[in-house]
Amino acid sequence: MKTFPFRPLTNLVMTPANLTCDGVDLADLASRHRTPLYVYSSAHIEKQIKELRRAFKGLPVTICYALKANTNFTLLNFLAKHDVAADLVSGGELWRAKNAQMNLKQSVFSGVGKTADEIALALKSQIKFFNVESKSELELINRVASKLKVTAQISLRFNPDVDAKTHPYISTGLHENKFGLDKAEILTIASTFGALKSCSLRALSVHIGSQIQTVGPFRDSFIKLRELRNLLLAQGFKIDSLDLGGGFSIPYRQNEKSFDLDKYAKTVKALFSDVKELTIEPGRFLVGNSGILLSRVLHVKKTRKKKFLIVDAGMNDLVRPALYQSYHEIITIPCASGPNHLKGSTGFDVVGPVCESSDSFTKNRKFSKATTAGDLIAILSAGAYGMSMANQYNSRFKPAEIWLESNARGKAKARLIRHRDSYRDLVTNEVLKKESRK
Ligand SMILES: *Cc1c(COP(=O)(O)O)cnc(C)c1O
Cα-to-centroid distance, 30 and ligand 1 (Å): 31
Cα-to-centroid distance, 283 and ligand 1 (Å): 6
pLDDT, averaged in runs of 10, over the chain (438 residues):
54 80 94 98 96 97 98 98 98 98 98 97 98 96 98 97 81 82 96 95 96 96 98 96 97 89 98 97 97 96 93 98 94 72 73 96 88 92 98 98 86 95 97 88
**Residues in the ligand 1 pocket, defined by CB under 6 Å:** 66, 68-69, 87, 110, 207, 210-211, 245-248, 281-285, 384
Amino acid at 337: S
User: What's the whole-model pTM score?
Assistant: 0.95
Q: Quote the pLDDT of residue 344.
A: 56
Residue-range domains of the chain with CATH: 2-41+288-426 (2.40.37.10), 43-285 (3.20.20.10)
Cα-to-centroid distance, 409 and ligand 1 (Å): 34
Calculate the alpha carbon distances from 288 to 24, 70, 169, 363 in Å. Answer: 19, 9, 18, 22
Report the alpha-carbon distance of residue 319 to residue 282 in Å, rounded: 20
Cα-to-centroid distance, 420 and ligand 1 (Å): 27
Q: Quote the pLDDT of residue 2.
A: 45
Outline where DSSP puts E strands in 227-324. Answer: 241-243, 277-280, 291-302, 307-311
Q: At a CB cut-off of 8 Å and minimum separation 6, what does 118 contact? A: 90, 91, 94, 109
Examine residue 36 and say whether the peptide bond preceding it is cis (omega within 30 degrees of 0). yes
Atom of ligand 1 nearest to the CA of 210: 7
Q: Could you list the active site residues?
A: 355
Substitution candidate for ligand 1 out of 63, 64, 87 with most atoms within 8 A of CB: 87
